[in-house]
């Protein structure tokens, strides 16, 4: 039911029962928010969105007040502005003044707010800071002093991811955000998905930067630096350079990186193609050899971490095929090193991922059976953008270059791994070929291209109907696994991605992105699948060489990893 | 120790969050503090993540997460006691034990805390040691009380 | 007595009143109410105030005394009759004589007082008074207890039996008319009738909000839901207030009856009593009373054969001031952090476990039985102005009589101070704080204001729960405001910015006013000035934007002290002086030349090396070096150091 309400002397339409904030936003009116998170219940904690409503004694938070009848609202009256500004100044008094040295300088919501309120002098005396920083985790750094206690990280970790690694500790002015018993993050049940970083308005939570190591290696003439990037990075990194979301810059990124001075620049697609082919084989093997089924995907490291902590019983059901990142590293340090006559210790592999858990995956001992690490450093999309800027370049979208040899080509299917459902869609193409010997006619699986937490599809291949489930968001994964374990659901294959919508929304992606950026990134990935000529991994000419080598040695060990149970405070 | 917690947990139905605080109070009563082990066991019993249990427990002043002294001296700092000189009593105790408020003496026998209001305003200032109230607090009387505590240990 | 307790027919006979006039019942009632006794009964006050004052030792000495002298007497623990400064109170009822009451009977006084009593040689110093009863012989020259101003100034409805009986004893409660209202409700009334009676009585919530109870109940009753809850808020955390504690310690059954009626009225089958876990005695008494009520089938299933089922759960709060706020309280009971939630939805629509929930304070609920029994018009006959009924108040701080009293609404604070607190003139009183940390600090010029929700609100005074703390010249109002702000900043839940950060800043600014830094430069002084300039506007923003009531009223102690005691603030800021001599840093120490013997002790101990002087010659203090630590003052044996 529609209602009329009056906002700043102007009549607008509102749905009965919707919040003031939602009505304002729909009508193109803005009030500042800090603790508000779309799709989660409002908590009314930050008081930034307060508005003046006639008939109410106090200011009202727009995020939590439902509209039940006619209301007369002032969103920017003197009283409101003064209240917002004072509260902001209170926050600032409790925040270190080190913006210049802060990782979020320029992408900080608190800084932006301070700017928009034209705050240019300190009103309240600053408190003393302890600068306590928790660097224990492989991928996430927690800076307690920079936390403004908006509670977004806690809510996303609990309400969306259902992990609840973070919580409020103590009360009143001694409140902090921490883990159970305030232990270091590395001891906690954090799965490193990085969604907390994505919602953190300040640098209270941020990724552990690998940029210094990369710069160090680049400056070392003895090191042969090899960088490779994933498709989810190439559809999002342009945003960091002011382009509109949804611009796919994979080939111009190659040229930019080359200019930066890396010895080789690859796209991870080759490894993804191998991953997909191996995974398809795993499914067929398990289906023929009676399980264990379903087979779970292994490309998402946050998911692996989650399974190792919460579902040790299903570890044998997770494919032992390394993730594309680790396959790529392994290929570079074995076949590629041999071909170029390089000692693999002199090769420095840098992976660029939309993800922060990949940093953990790279150093996790059990992903490699060899004595060297497959991947030496992992940069997030954000870190790569900053590296490009450090090196004095910008993303030049006019120049283009293909991935270096020998990993020149990749199928468009490999790029789909960036979205939830894309992996399964590509897998179906391979399975179809493996079972029937023919290319699939309808390459698009529209059932998998919708935005939904849990998706299902059944495909008839040969005489068998294969059942697939696709899940994104680890909270949804927990639900689905419980259903599978209780026997309510049976599948052949389950694709799990820890972040909602998949890697396009990974913890390493650009911050403060524009509205609908996610949709645009997903569209860019599907568009390239449309455009590109190689649509099937098995048709990628770049991989045949590797398969010849595997066949020759009869050994695919470098593609295999293993998992073990992790005990944490959960 | 685990058995003790198990016995406490057995008294409460599984997956009922409304008992969390009561169980925590009982655990603290039995163990003296809330241990990591008890948080894990409670979290499994009521089906709530450990971080949420810890978050709840740390919210309330009542709960502590480290072993405490044998005697916890709580000086009331409610308004009535405050204006009757509870600060003087606190600083006397701090000097007497050579510890600061909140700290524990080296021999783990005494600990000083303040309490927001013990509700015994008529006799202010008052202090409470392990549930027993004391009023008329002169330095001699406080020393006498401390002595009583010490000798009760032998 | 034993036979009676084993036999529950007494309770049912009285409550359901089927037997008409029954001499056995009457006999039992007079024994239960001590109107008839064959051997001496000695009563001892055993509420917390009594215990703190030493009633446990007194009781042991008493029993010893009786044993030694082979006196056959009954020793009965009673609650308290409320003037706490008189504790430990001992009362004696000799057969055929009026009950007589003694004050301050610490264990060392037992012998003298009892000797006197048994030998007809009363220790008048310790006598409070006697309870007149036409059945018994009076004590000569002993005042009627109800003629004492402390009692005569009160209108005791809730407290009518305070300190007379054993609080948890259900038989005594029933013998004095208890549970009659509840029986009437479930046998004669429909829930709607009860809600209407309460709404008609215009009973205002006594917890501080002043919201009409009947309206709240009616709103809850109208909502259809599978489950509804009633919560009794007994999480008293106002510093300097002990109303709920004494109320429960004295009248657990009255509260249970109130809860039972309220639950029946709104259709709740389960009620929670949320009580501070360090209120040991109150919890003990209430648990015992609950147990008895269960045994006598007044709670449980099919209560008094009416088909009504209902249970009460005692929930111990783990100590957090903010849990007095209803949504925080609800979260706390549900096993969450006690943080307030944004309203709407209001608890009446969606409260505990998302079901409709009514939260009433303990005092509000204790008002219910008499309203039901006597009707709304009777209730409205009390109260001289806008608010009806009575209000429980507690008086503490720098008062002559510390105590707990029930006064008629509309009585002025002056009357309370004169009659109950025992002040003949108000000259000694500098100010009083009413309503706990969130309440207001008011000067004597406002003492004529009546205790009335509306009138006090008009004057921007929050009555809160009714705890009154008095201050005299030895209290510094700036320091007091700092004390309250410290409490509030520690007790803020930490959820919303204005309350979490704002109260901390207010505390810091106040602290800044009361300390002086060594070598103070222009910077600190400027900070101090700036702070004070900001604090008022900051206080307004905190009130305007805080999520809950605690935040909204958190600047009250500061705003009210600033409003009425501005000169003290100015003195602290500009003159750097604290008249009350409380703010340690603002004290100046001087050595009296004529008194100083030149022993040099102070100069040796001075940590700032601010004391100079030759041996055996008068010393002097260099004010610019002095840090006002006070060590010299403490160690001077000749009282030659004075504070200004």
Domain match, C23 and C65 both: yes
Which of A165, A170, A569 should be substituted to probe chain B, the one whose Cβ sees the most B Cβ atoms within 10 Å?
A569
pLDDT recorded at residue C9: 78
Show the tokens assigned to C249.
Answer: 């310690």
Rounded to a whole number of angstroms, the distance from the CA of C141 to the nearest CA of chain B is 29
Residue C169 lies in a domain: no
Identify the residue whose tokens are 């201050």.
C471
CA A404 vs. chain centroid, Å, equals: 26
pLDDT recorded at residue A24: 95
Q: Where are the beta strands (DSSP E) in chain B?
A: 71-76, 110-115, 127-129, 132-134
d(CA A498, CA A152): 18
Query: Contacts of residue B20 in chain C, CB cutoff 8 Å?
Result: 335
Domain match, C611 and C538 both: no
pTM for this entry:
0.91
**3-state percent helix, strand, coil for chain B, nearest multiple of 5:** 50, 10, 35
Which chain C residue lies closest to B132 (C-alpha atoms)?
C52
pLDDT recorded at residue A128: 74
**DSSP structure string for B6-34:** HHHHHTS-TT-GGGHHHHHHHHHHHHSS-
Please, which chains are in contact with B (at least 3 CB pairs closer than 8 A)? A, C
Show the tokens assigned to A369.
Answer: 């059976």
Residues C630, C608 contacting (CB under 8 angstroms): no
Query: Contacts of residue B60 in chain C, CB cutoff 8 Å?
Result: 317-320, 338
Name the nearest CA neighbour of C574 among C507, C516, C511.
C516
Closest partner residue to B82 among C84, C241, C483, by Cβ?
A: C483
pLDDT recorded at residue C19: 58
Domain match, C57 and C101 both: yes
Helices (H), C223-251: 243-250
**3-state percent helix, strand, coil for chain A, nearest multiple of 5:** 40, 15, 45
Q: What is A212-559's CATH number, 3.60.70.12, 3.30.56.10, 3.40.50.300, 3.40.50.1780?
A: 3.40.50.1780
Collect all residues with Cβ–Cβ distance below 8 Å to A365 and sequence separation of at least 6: none
Closest partner residue to B51 among A165, A170, A171, by Cβ?
A: A165
Residues A45, C497 contacting (CB under 8 angstroms): yes
Rounded to a whole number of angstroms, the distance from the CA of C50 to the nearest CA of chain B is 9
Residue C165 lies in a domain: no
Q: Which fold has domain A2-89?
A: Ubiquitin-like (UB roll) (3.10.20)
Closest partner residue to A173 among C322, C504, C552, by Cβ?
A: C504
Looking at residue C296, which CATH number applies to its domain?
A: 3.40.50.11540
**What are the start and end residues of each CATH 3.10.20.740 domain in chain A?**
2-89
d(CA A306, CA B109): 44
In tens, the pLDDT along C30-73 reads 888 888 888 999 999 998 888 888 899 999 999 999 999 999 99
Which chain B residue lies closest to C397 (C-alpha atoms)?
B80
> Which regions of chain A are under pLDDT 70?
131, 365-371
Beta carbons within 10 angstroms of residue B54's beta carbon: 27
Query: Contacts of residue A46 in chain C, CB cutoff 8 Å?
Result: 496-497
Residues C506, C555 contacting (CB under 8 angstroms): yes
Query: Contacts of residue B43 in chain A, CB cutoff 8 Å?
Result: 570
Are B59 and C84 in contact (CB < 8 Å)?
no
Q: Can you name the residues that pair with C641 across neighbouring β-strands?
A: C591
Are B51 and A166 in contact (CB < 8 Å)?
yes
ipTM over 0.90: yes
pLDDT of residue C5 exceeding 50, the answer is: no
The mean predicted confidence, pLDDT, of chain C is 89
Residue C224 lies in a domain: yes
Which of residues 264 through 293 in chain A touch B, CB cutoff 8 A? none
In tens, the pLDDT along C196-250 reads 999 999 999 998 777 899 999 999 999 999 899 999 999 888 887 889 999 999 9
Q: Which fold has domain A94-207?
A: Alpha-Beta Plaits (3.30.70)
Looking at residue C570, which CATH number applies to its domain?
A: 1.20.1440.230
Query: Contacts of residue A94 in chain C, CB cutoff 8 Å?
Result: 501, 504
Closest partner residue to C492 among A45, A127, A172, by Cβ?
A: A172
pLDDT of residue C636 exceeding 60, the answer is: yes
Domain match, C394 and C294 both: no
What percentage of chain C reaches a pLDDT higher than 70? 97
Query: Contacts of residue C498 in chain A, CB cutoff 8 Å?
Result: 47, 86-87, 90
Q: Which of A336-340, C282-286, C300-304, C520-524 has the highest mean pLDDT?
A: C282-286
pLDDT recorded at residue C432: 93
Which of residues 518 through 537 in chain C touch A, CB cutoff 8 A? 527, 531, 534, 537
Collect all residues with Cβ–Cβ distance below 8 Å to A543 and sequence separation of at least 6: A270, A273, A274, A277, A537
Helices (H), A486-531: 517-531
pLDDT of residue C439 exceeding 70, the answer is: yes
Query: Contacts of residue B36 in chain A, CB cutoff 8 Å?
Result: 180-181, 569
Asked which of C554, C575, C596 is the last residue of a domain, the reply is: C575
Domain match, C412 and C511 both: no
Domain match, C563 and C609 both: no
- According to DSSP, residue C167 is labeled T
Which of residues 159 through 178 in chain C touch A, CB cutoff 8 A? none
Rounded to a whole number of angstroms, the distance from the CA of A91 to the nearest CA of chain C is 7
Domain match, C558 and C636 both: no
Domain match, C202 and C303 both: yes
Domains and CATH numbers, chain B: 2-59 (no CATH), 71-148 (3.40.30.10)
Are A65 and C498 in contact (CB < 8 Å)?
no
Looking at residue C408, which CATH number applies to its domain?
A: 3.10.20.600
Domain match, C198 and C261 both: yes
pLDDT recorded at residue C35: 87
Please, which chains are in contact with C (at least 3 CB pairs closer than 8 A)? A, B
Question: What SS3 class is residue C443?
Answer: coil
Which of C485, C494, C552 should be substituted to probe chain A, the one whose Cβ sees the most A Cβ atoms within 10 Å?
C494
Q: Counting beta carbons within 10 angstroms of the beta carbon of residue C400, is it exposed (0 to 12), middle (13 to 18) or buried (19 or more)?
A: middle
Report how far apart, in Å, the C-alpha atoms of C616 and of each of C603, C604, C641, C642 are: 12, 14, 16, 19
Asked which of C448, C471, C494 is the last residue of a domain, the reply is: C471
Closest partner residue to B117 among C237, C337, C398, by Cβ?
A: C237
d(CA A376, CA A368): 12
Residue C545, phi then psi, degrees to nearest 5: -115, -5
Question: What SS3 class is residue A153?
Answer: helix
d(CA A300, CA A292): 20
Identify the residue whose tokens are 């806690």.
A154
**Domain extent at residue C268:** 178-380
Rounded to a whole number of angstroms, the distance from the CA of C607 to the nearest CA of chain A is 27
In tens, the pLDDT along B28-63 reads 989 999 999 999 999 999 999 999 999 999 999 889
pLDDT of residue C2 exceeding 50, the answer is: no
- According to DSSP, residue C594 is labeled T
**3-state percent helix, strand, coil for chain C, nearest multiple of 5:** 45, 15, 40
pLDDT recorded at residue C20: 62
Residues C126, C78 contacting (CB under 8 angstroms): no
Report how far apart, in Å, the C-alpha atoms of A123 and of each of A87, A92, A146, C317, C552 are: 11, 9, 18, 38, 22
Collect all residues with Cβ–Cβ distance below 8 Å to A408 and sequence separation of at least 6: A402, A542
pLDDT recorded at residue C115: 92
pLDDT recorded at residue C70: 92
Which of residues 138 through 197 in chain A touch B, CB cutoff 8 A? 158, 163-171, 179-182, 188-189
Residue C245 lies in a domain: yes
Domain match, C504 and C449 both: no
Domain match, C602 and C571 both: no
> Which regions of chain B are under pLDDT 50?
none
Are B58 and A169 in contact (CB < 8 Å)?
yes
- Report the helix count and the strand count for chain C, using DSSP H and E: 28, 19
d(CA C581, CA C583): 6
Which chain A residue lies closest to B37 (C-alpha atoms)?
A569
Residues C228, C312 contacting (CB under 8 angstroms): no
Looking at residue C119, which CATH number applies to its domain?
A: 3.40.30.10
pLDDT recorded at residue C4: 47
Residue C511, phi then psi, degrees to nearest 5: -60, -40
Overall domain count for chain C: 5
Antiparallel, parallel or unpaired: β C403-408 and C357-361: unpaired
pLDDT band at C631; cut points 50, 70, 90: confident
Which of residues 80 through 139 in chain B touch A, CB cutoff 8 A? none
**What are the start and end residues of each CATH 3.30.70.20 domain in chain A?**
94-207
Domain match, C564 and C598 both: no
- According to DSSP, residue A159 is labeled I
pLDDT band at C1; cut points 50, 70, 90: very low
Q: Find the mean pLDDT for residues C525-553.
A: 86
Beta carbons within 10 angstroms of residue A456's beta carbon: 17
Which chain A residue lies closest to C536 (C-alpha atoms)?
A86
Cis? peptide before A363, omega within 30° of 0: no
- Hey, what's the torsion of the CAs at B85, B90, B92, B98, to 10 degrees? -170
**What are the start and end residues of each CATH 3.40.50.1780 domain in chain A?**
212-559
Are A170 and C320 in contact (CB < 8 Å)?
no
Are C397 and B61 in contact (CB < 8 Å)?
no
């Amino acid at each position: 039911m529609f209602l009329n309400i009056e906002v700043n002397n102007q009549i607008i339409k509102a749905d009965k029962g919707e919040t003031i904030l939602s009505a304002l936003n729909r009508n193109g009116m803005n009030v500042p928010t800090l603790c508000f998170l779309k799709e989660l219940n409002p908590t009314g904690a930050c008081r930034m969105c307060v508005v003046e409503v006639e008939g109410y004694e106090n200011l009202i938070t727009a995020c939590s007040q439902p509209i039940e009848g006619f209301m007369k609202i002032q969103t920017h009256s003197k009283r409101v502005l003064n209240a917002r500004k004072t509260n902001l100044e209170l926050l600032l008094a409790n925040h270190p003044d080190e913006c210049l040295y802060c990782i979020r300088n320029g992408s900080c919501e608190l800084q932006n707010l301070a700017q928009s309120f034209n705050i240019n002098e300190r009103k309240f005396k600053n408190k003393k800071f302890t600068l306590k920083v928790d660097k224990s985790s492989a991928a996430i750094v927690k800076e307690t002093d920079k936390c403004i206690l908006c509670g977004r990280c806690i809510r996303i970790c609990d309400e969306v991811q259902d992990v609840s690694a973070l919580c409020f500790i103590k009360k009143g002015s001694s409140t902090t955000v921490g883990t159970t018993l305030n232990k270091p993050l590395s001891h906690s049940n954090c799965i490193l998905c990085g969604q907390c970083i994505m919602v953190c308005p300040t640098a209270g939570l941020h990724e552990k930067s690998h940029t210094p190591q990369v710069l160090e290696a680049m400056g070392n003439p003895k090191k042969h630096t090899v960088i490779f990037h994933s498709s989810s990075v190439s559809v999002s990194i342009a945003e960091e350079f002011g382009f509109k979301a949804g611009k796919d810059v994979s080939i111009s990124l190659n040229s930019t990186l080359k200019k930066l001075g890396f010895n080789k620049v690859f796209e991870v697609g080759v490894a993804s193609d191998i991953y997909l082919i191996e995974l398809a084989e795993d499914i067929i093997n398990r289906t023929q050899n009676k399980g264990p089924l379903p087979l779970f995907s292994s490309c998402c490291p946050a998911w692996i971490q989650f399974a190792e902590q919460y579902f040790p019983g299903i570890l044998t059901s997770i494919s032992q095929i390394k993730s594309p990142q680790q396959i790529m590293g392994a290929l570079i340090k074995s076949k590629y090193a041999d071909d170029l006559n390089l000692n693999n210790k002199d090769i420095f592999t840098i992976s660029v991922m939309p993800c922060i858990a990949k940093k953990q995956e790279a150093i996790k001992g059990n992903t490699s059976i060899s004595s060297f690490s497959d991947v030496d450093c992992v940069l997030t999309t954000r870190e790569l953008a900053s590296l490009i800027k450090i090196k004095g370049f910008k993303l030049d979208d006019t120049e283009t270059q293909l991935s270096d040899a020998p990993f020149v080509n990749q199928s468009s299917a490999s790029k789909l791994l960036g979205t939830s459902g894309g992996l399964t869609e590509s897998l179906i193409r391979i399975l179809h070929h493996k079972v029937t010997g023919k290319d699939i006619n309808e390459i698009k699986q529209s059932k998998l291209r919708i935005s939904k937490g849990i998706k299902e599809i059944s495909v008839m291949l040969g005489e068998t109907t294969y059942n697939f489930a696709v899940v994104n968001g680890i909270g949804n994964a927990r639900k689905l696994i419980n259903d599978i374990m209780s026997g309510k659901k049976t599948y052949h294959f389950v694709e799990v991605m820890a972040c909602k919508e998949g890697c396009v929304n990974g913890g390493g992606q650009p911050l403060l992105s524009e509205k609908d950026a996610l949709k645009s990134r997903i569209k860019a990935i599907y568009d390239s699948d449309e455009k590109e000529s190689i649509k099937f991994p098995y048709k990628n000419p770049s991989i045949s060489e590797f398969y010849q080598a595997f066949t020759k040695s009869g050994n695919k060990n470098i593609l295999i990893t293993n998992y073990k149970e992790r005990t944490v405070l959960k | 120790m685990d058995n003790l917690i198990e016995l406490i947990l057995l008294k409460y139905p599984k997956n009922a969050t409304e008992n969390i605080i009561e169980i925590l109070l009982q655990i603290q009563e039995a163990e003296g503090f809330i241990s990591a082990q008890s948080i894990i066991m409670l979290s499994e019993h009521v089906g709530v993540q450990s971080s949420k249990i810890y978050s709840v427990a740390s919210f309330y002043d009542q709960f502590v997460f480290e072993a405490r002294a044998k005697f916890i001296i709580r000086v009331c700092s409610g308004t009535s006691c405050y204006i009757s000189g509870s600060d003087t009593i606190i600083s006397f105790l701090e000097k007497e034990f050579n510890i600061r408020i909140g700290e524990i003496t080296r021999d783990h026998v005494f600990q000083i805390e303040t309490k927001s209001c013990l509700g015994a305003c008529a006799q202010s200032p008052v202090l409470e040691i392990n549930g027993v109230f004391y009023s008329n607090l002169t330095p001699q009387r406080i020393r006498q009380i401390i002595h009583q505590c010490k000798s009760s240990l032998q | 007595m034993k036979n009676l307790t084993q036999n529950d027919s007494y309770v049912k006979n009285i409550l359901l009143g089927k037997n008409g006039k029954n001499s056995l019942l009457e006999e039992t009632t007079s024994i239960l109410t001590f109107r008839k006794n064959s051997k001496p009964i000695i009563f001892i006050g055993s509420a917390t105030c009594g215990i703190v004052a030493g009633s446990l030792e007194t009781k042991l000495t008493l029993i010893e005394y009786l044993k030694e002298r082979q006196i056959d007497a009954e020793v009965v623990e009673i609650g308290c009759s409320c003037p706490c400064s008189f504790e430990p109170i001992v009362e004696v009822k000799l057969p055929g004589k009026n009950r007589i009451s003694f004050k301050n009977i610490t264990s060392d006084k037992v012998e003298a007082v009892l000797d006197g009593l048994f030998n007809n040689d009363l220790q008048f110093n310790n006598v409070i008074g006697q309870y007149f009863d036409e059945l018994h012989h009076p004590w000569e020259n002993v005042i009627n207890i109800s003629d004492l101003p402390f009692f005569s100034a009160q209108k005791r409805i809730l407290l009518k039996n305070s300190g007379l009986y054993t609080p948890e004893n259900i038989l005594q409660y029933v013998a004095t008319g208890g549970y009659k209202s509840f029986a009437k409700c479930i046998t004669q009334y429909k829930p709607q009738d009860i809600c209407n009676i309460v709404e008609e009585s215009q009973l205002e919530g006594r917890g501080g909000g002043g919201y009409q109870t009947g309206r709240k109940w009616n709103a809850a009753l109208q909502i259809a839901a599978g489950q509804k809850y009633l919560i009794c808020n007994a999480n008293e955390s106002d510093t300097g207030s002990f109303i709920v504690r004494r109320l429960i310690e004295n009248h657990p059954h009255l509260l249970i009856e109130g809860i039972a009626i309220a639950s029946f009225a709104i259709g709740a089958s389960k009620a929670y009593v949320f009580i501070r876990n360090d209120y040991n005695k109150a919890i003990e008494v209430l648990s015992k009373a609950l147990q008895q009520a269960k045994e006598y089938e007044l709670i449980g299933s099919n209560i008094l054969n009416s088909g009504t089922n209902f249970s009460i759960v005692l929930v111990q709060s783990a100590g957090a001031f903010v849990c007095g706020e209803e949504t925080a309280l609800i979260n706390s009971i549900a096993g969450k952090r006690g943080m307030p939630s944004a309203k709407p939805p209001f608890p009446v629509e969606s409260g505990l476990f998302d079901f409709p929930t009514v939260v009433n304070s303990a005092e509000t609920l204790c008002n219910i039985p008499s309203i039901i029994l006597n009707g709304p018009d009777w209730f409205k006959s009390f109260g001289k102005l806008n608010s009806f009924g009575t209000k429980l108040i507690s008086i503490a701080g720098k008062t002559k009589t510390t105590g707990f009293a029930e006064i008629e609404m509309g009585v002025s604070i002056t009357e309370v101070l004169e009659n109950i607190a025992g002040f003949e003139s108000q000259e000694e009183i500098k100010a009083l704080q009413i309503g706990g940390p969130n309440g207001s600090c008011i000067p004597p010029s406002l003492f004529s204001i009546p205790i009335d929700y509306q009138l006090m609100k008009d004057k921007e005074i929050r009555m809160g729960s009714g705890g009154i703390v008095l201050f005299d010249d030895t209290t510094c109002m700036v320091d007091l405001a700092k004390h309250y702000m410290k409490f509030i900043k520690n007790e803020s839940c930490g959820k919303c910015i204005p309350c979490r950060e704002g109260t901390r800043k207010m505390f810091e600014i106040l602290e800044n006013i009361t300390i002086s830094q060594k070598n103070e430069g222009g910077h600190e002084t400027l900070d101090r000035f700036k702070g004070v300039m900001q604090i008022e506007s900051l206080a307004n923003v905190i009130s305007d934007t805080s999520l809950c009531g605690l935040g909204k009223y958190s600047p009250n102690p500061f705003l009210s002290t600033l409003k009425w005691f501005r000169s003290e603030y100015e003195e602290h800021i500009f003159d750097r002086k604290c008249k009350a001599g409380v703010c340690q840093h603002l004290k100046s120490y001087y050595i009296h030349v004529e008194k100083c013997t030149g022993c040099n002790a102070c100069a040796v101990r001075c940590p700032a090396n601010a004391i100079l002087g030759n041996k055996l010659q008068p010393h002097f203090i260099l004010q610019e070096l002095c840090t006002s630590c006070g060590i010299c003052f403490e160690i001077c044996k000749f009282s030659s150091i004075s504070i200004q």
